[in-house]
Structure 1
Amino acid sequence: MASTSPNADNDGTTDQVLVEDCRFTRILTLNRPQQLNALSTPMIMKLLKLFVAYEKDSDVKLLIVKGNGRAFSAGGDVASVARSVAQGQWALGTEFLRNQYTLDYIIATYGKPQVSILDGIVMGGGAGVSIHGRFRVVTEKTCIAFSAVLIVTGRKTTKDVFTMPETSLGFFPDIGASYFLSRLPGFFGEYVGLTGARLDGAEMLACGLATHFVPSTNLAYLEDLLTKVETSDPFVICASIDQFSQMVPLKASSAYNRLDIIDKCFSKETVEEIISALEKESASMADEWIVVAIQALKKASPISLKVTLRSIREGRLQGVDRCLTMEFRLCCHILRLEASKDFLEGFRAILVDKDRNPKWEPPRLDLVDSKVVDQYFAEVDDANWEELKLPSRRNLAANYVSKM
């Protein structure tokens, strides 16, 4: 019989991660539904503790991770990070990210299978604790975007926030996105990362971000079957999920149907060349996704676009550990406001004043100095700064595979 952990941690706070014990399976439920399960520090620390403990526990064969409510997770609870930066305490923000990236790395190299059930909104940090796992199950309700959603506890979040990419917030797709976006077919990862395009379950399955599509009405049956699994054999688990999995067609309007055009445009060397190529295509065809992509690129932070493109390109040649280490450096430079204050300006324009009119610094792509972009990828020049030091892992091969 399954048992559920108490609803409070040792510090007396409401439990933000529910744990259900089912013989050889553990079900971890992200439990901040009012905040769309945005990842808080207590949530990240508890997940770290559980993942480390379960990997050592021979009685645990499989982990299932899901969200309570209409979201799996709408990203990291990084409003506190922005406030710390505004107060000149950038190091507090980097500690949040250090713990989050460590969790992502443990998941990416986990020695036991993880089944992530993505039945709803998935963004930013939510992608980090799911996409890096071995099995990613999506439904007709799934919507993913690599956006830095800044959730404040107790504050209602509107739906339009989910259309805003990291580059529109003066940030970039992190949580190991430079690793898995760079491994999507062709240059689809550049398209998703630069434009912040939202993908549905069918698109995630087609490009490899998901391994299975299961109708939401069958999730309870799938969970029940998985709780009876007595092995960590990924082929047995895959076969179990296959019993409920379906192949679903892409919508006619899906940009993934035009991967040839995406490859032609997003393979260009610079962001300026990508925009120019898209504008040429737009002049000869009336596809809405091209117009939307151009608009997103022109509204985004120029320096964030440059950093994002380079991070994905470098990610193609790196393992997940080096990708996370690179991204941590980028985050530190951004939070230190070294060359630009776009992170705070994006936070102000999108989620504080909500005027949707950020004043980027610099304001145009052609004004972004290549030496400044180089600086973002270098070590941080601060005596108190430390590189991201990831734990030693037995399973050095990442669990993420674009196709099962």
Structure 2
Amino acid sequence: MATYSKPQVSLLNGIVMGGGAGVSIHGRFRVATENSVFAMPETSLGLFPDVGASYYLSRLPGLFGEYVGLTGARLDGAEMLACGLATHFVPAKRLPSLEDALSKVSSSDPAVVSAIIDKFSQQPALKDKSAYRRLDIIDRCFSRRSVEEILSALEGEAAKGTDDWISATIQSLKKASPMSLKISLRLIREGRVQGVGRCLIQEYRVCCHVLRKEVSEDFFEGCRAILVDKDRNPKWEPSQLELISDDMVERYFSKVDDEEWEDLKLPARYKLPVSAMAKL
């Protein structure tokens, strides 16, 4: 999808999370509405933002991708447009007319498709309490080297005054799997200098380690607590960020020690436009 030569138009009129984000955000055109709700809440489940999230989150303005990926924060349509997750904002009531107009297009020229969507688009206003309005604080705190330092910086900001957003951000991080936070931060940081193909290969490798339960069983515990028993009280192990060494994190990024295992192999691409080649 990220390298597809024909323009893909995704209508994001509802929940856009996990796999839903994976099959839409990589497309050329992403149309948000007032009903859109985006989030990658995997750290609260003991996993990490996957399906290429390390590629597109790392390319959001400033350190907004780290904030969204680590906290699982929910964004509305206006925020999606502001940060670039969406390319257009169209009121939900106008979507049928937009779909009808797009169905009549006989050209695959992105400029033609974009011009049609533009006719139905609006510029929504960000809410006063939008996290995107706090990008300066996010950049200051989430630019720190480690998750521990990010938390410390946020707590320092909280000490300066009362801001419900900062408190909620701190709580989101403290409730998430410590191992997931460490893995996610590294994936997003490395994704910033990798193409989408390399990001997908690395995410696949990390996921294989997660499923093998070699270092931590947090994903299975998260599924139990959130999806099965629904007590929403996962017992993470390791239970604290300070108990996780760099070597433990490194194991998730190494090749799986199994002679029958191999890295993800993406299909060969031919006659790609230059813009698509740049993403690989």
In 2 relative to 1, CA 115–375 (structure 1 residues): closer, same or farther, beyond 3 Å? same
Within 5 Å, which residues of 2 pair with 1:3-402? 107-146=1-40, 165-394=41-270, 395=272, 397-398=275-276
Q: Give the C-alpha shift of residue 234 in structure 1.
A: 0.5
Cα separation, 1, equivalents of 2:114 and 2:161: 41
Number of aligned residues: 277
Cα separation, 2, equivalents of 1:307 and 1:368: 11
Gaps of 5+ in 2: none
Higher helix share: 2
In 2 relative to 1, CA 193–346 (structure 1 residues): closer, same or farther, beyond 3 Å? same
Cα separation, 1, equivalents of 2:16 and 2:69: 14
Q: Give the C-alpha shift of residue 320 in structure 1.
A: 0.2
Cα separation, 2, equivalents of 1:233 and 1:286: 50
Cα separation, 2, equivalents of 1:296 and 1:357: 13
Whichever residue aligns with residue 201 of structure 1, its letter is: G
Whichever residue aligns with residue 304 of structure 1, its letter is: S
Could you list the per-position Cα deviations for residues 67-104 of structure 1 after superposition, in whole angstroms to 9, with x for gaps in the alignment? xxxxxxxxxxxxxxxxxxxxxxxxxxxxxxxxxxxxxx
Higher strand share: 1
Cα separation, 1, equivalents of 2:278 and 2:27: 6
Q: Give the C-alpha shift of residue 399 in structure 1.
A: 9.5
Could you list the per-position Cα deviations for residues 330-377 of structure 1 after superposition, in whole angstroms to 9, with x for gaps in the alignment? 000000001001010001111111111111110000000110101110
Q: Give the C-alpha shift of residue 287 in structure 1.
A: 2.2
Tell me, what secondary structure is at the counterpart of 1:284? coil
Query: Considering only aligned residues, what root-mean-square deviation do their CA atoms show, in Å?
Result: 1.4
Whichever residue aligns with residue 13 of structure 2, its letter is: D
Q: Give the C-alpha shift of residue 288 in structure 1.
A: 1.8
Could you list the structure 1 runs, at least 4 aligned residues long, displaced by more than 3 angstroms after superposition: 396-401
Contact 2:5 2:276 in 1 (8 A): no
Contact 1:142 1:201 in 2 (8 A): yes
Contact 1:303 1:365 in 2 (8 A): yes
In 2 relative to 1, CA 398–192 (structure 1 residues): closer, same or farther, beyond 3 Å? farther
**TM-score under structure 1 normalisation?**
0.67
Identity score, percent: 68
In 2 relative to 1, CA 205–294 (structure 1 residues): closer, same or farther, beyond 3 Å? same
